Amino acid sequence: MAPIQFGILMIPYQMLDVAGPVDILSTSSKSLIAQCEAAGLLAPGLSEKAIDIEFHHINTTMDPVLMTSNISLVPTTTVDDCPPLDYLLIGGPDPMTFKLDEKFADFIRKHVAAGKGIFTTCTGGMAISSSGVLDGRKATTNHQALEMAKQMRPQVNWVKEQWVEDGQFWTAGGACAGMDMFSHWVAKHYAPEIAAIGLMGLDFEPRDIEGKRVLRTEQVV
Ligand SMILES: *[C@@H]1O[C@H](CO)[C@@H](O)[C@H](O)[C@H]1NC(C)=O
Ligand SMILES: *[C@@H]1O[C@H](CO)[C@@H](O)[C@H](O)[C@H]1NC(C)=O
């Protein structure tokens, strides 16, 4: 099987909205687990079941983009050159000032029309809502901004849940809710030991969908 092509749109997002989710994926990834096997830290054979994934950081140009905490990130590709993606992640920008660029809106609509998966974390749900792809869907966004989201895009059925899965869309609340969502996504699609390696590597115990209960790693997987 070809590796999963995973894209991140480089809107000026809050670092943890993207860094948390992609590190959950990469800590359970084939390349990282294979390295641990080679070093004798894990039993051989696990990497065969791990997440085979390639990451693409996408903007309209290849210039560095300034994110929160003064972190500057360099894109790996552009909306024009990006290979076909299986999944696209959109983290949360400042909703007061952010406006979705038409090139990004177009890119998102094509991705959705191709039937591919979308993840949003924090205000990322609001950020993409102007493209219309979430209209008629159940979705969430940072819970502090839910009222603003309802005013901004009333066509979306905004709800206050830790995360929401609706067809090809997975939307989460604030950054750490995004990490909860990704942990459950990994547990849903991969072997329990693969999800456990990633979560234990990060020393992270995700909450459940109600956001109330802290689950122990072994309960999640
Ligand atoms: C990244 O893309 C956005 C949206 O198209 C654009 O406004 C911004 O200028 C780009 N950033 C850089 C550094 O090219
Ligand atoms: C951001 O980094 C630049 C140097 O690249 C520095 O001049 C500036 O003071 C920094 N700003 C903040 C808020 O840390």
Reported as a pLDDT band with limits 50, 70 and 90, residue 1 is: confident
Determine the average pLDDT of the residues in 137-153: 97
pLDDT digits (tens, 9 = 90+) for 14-37: 999 999 999 999 999 999 999 999
φ, ψ for residue 201 (rounded to 5)? -60, -35
> Do 98 and 128 touch, CB atoms closer than 8 A?
no
pLDDT digits (tens, 9 = 90+) for 88-99: 999 999 999 999
CA of 208 to the centre of ligand 2 (A): 38
61 CB near ligand 1 (under 6 Å) = yes
Q: Angle at CA 106, nearest 5°, toward 102 and 107?
A: 115
> Do 202 and 27 touch, CB atoms closer than 8 A?
yes
52 CB near ligand 1 (under 6 Å) = no
φ, ψ for residue 212 (rounded to 5)? -95, -45
CA of 9 to the centre of ligand 1 (A): 10
**Percent of all residues in the chain with a pLDDT value above 90, rounded to a whole number:** 92
pTM recorded for the entire structure: 0.94
Q: Which of 9, 13, 59 to mutate to test the pocket of ligand 1 (most atoms within 8 A of CB)?
A: 59
Q: Which residues of 127-137 are buried (b: 16+ CB within 10 A; e: fewer)?
A: bbbbbebbeeb
CA of 59 to the centre of ligand 1 (A): 6
Q: Which residues of 172-191 are buried (b: 16+ CB within 10 A; e: fewer)?
A: bbbbbbbbbbbbbbbbeebb
CA of 69 to the centre of ligand 2 (A): 9
Reported as a pLDDT band with limits 50, 70 and 90, residue 119 is: very high
Calculate the dihedral angle through the C-alpha atoms of 136, 138, 144, 145, rounding to the nearest 10 degrees: -20
210 has a pLDDT exceeding 90: no
pLDDT in the model for residue 219: 56
Ligand approaching nearest to the C-alpha of 69: 2
